[in-house]
Amino acid sequence: MLRRIGGQVNGISKMINDDKDCEAVMTQVMAAVSSLKSVGRTVLADATCNAPKEESSKLLKRFL
């Protein structure tokens, strides 16, 4: 998934350099943001499953 996000970001950079319209660029930006949020949820889920209850609660409060 991270490689795909890297590809999205590179594509966004190319779109900006090629002076593509704002709507098209923002559509790709929002797709990349959505992908990053998905990665974040996965990382957080893994961390909370493997952490003591107190630390899990702290992580969830901070990032949710």
CATH code, domain carrying 18: 1.20.58.1000
- Indicate the pTM of the whole model: 0.81
* Confidence (pLDDT) at 7: 96
* Confidence (pLDDT) at 1: 87
Q: How far is Cα of residue 21 from the mean position of the Cα atoms in its chain?
A: 23
3-class secondary-structure state, position 25: helix
35 CB-side CA count, 13 A:
15
Find the domain containing 54 and state its range. Answer: 2-63
Q: If you ran DSSP here, which 8-state letter would residue 38 be given?
A: H
Place of tokens 């949710």: 64
Question: Total domain count for the chain?
Answer: 1
Would you place residue 16 in the very low, low, confident or very high pLDDT band (cuts 50, 70, 90)?
A: very high
Place of tokens 């490689």: 3
Q: How far is Cα of residue 62 from the mean position of the Cα atoms in its chain?
A: 17
Q: What is the pLDDT of residues 26-47, one digit of tens each?
A: 999 999 999 999 999 999 999 9
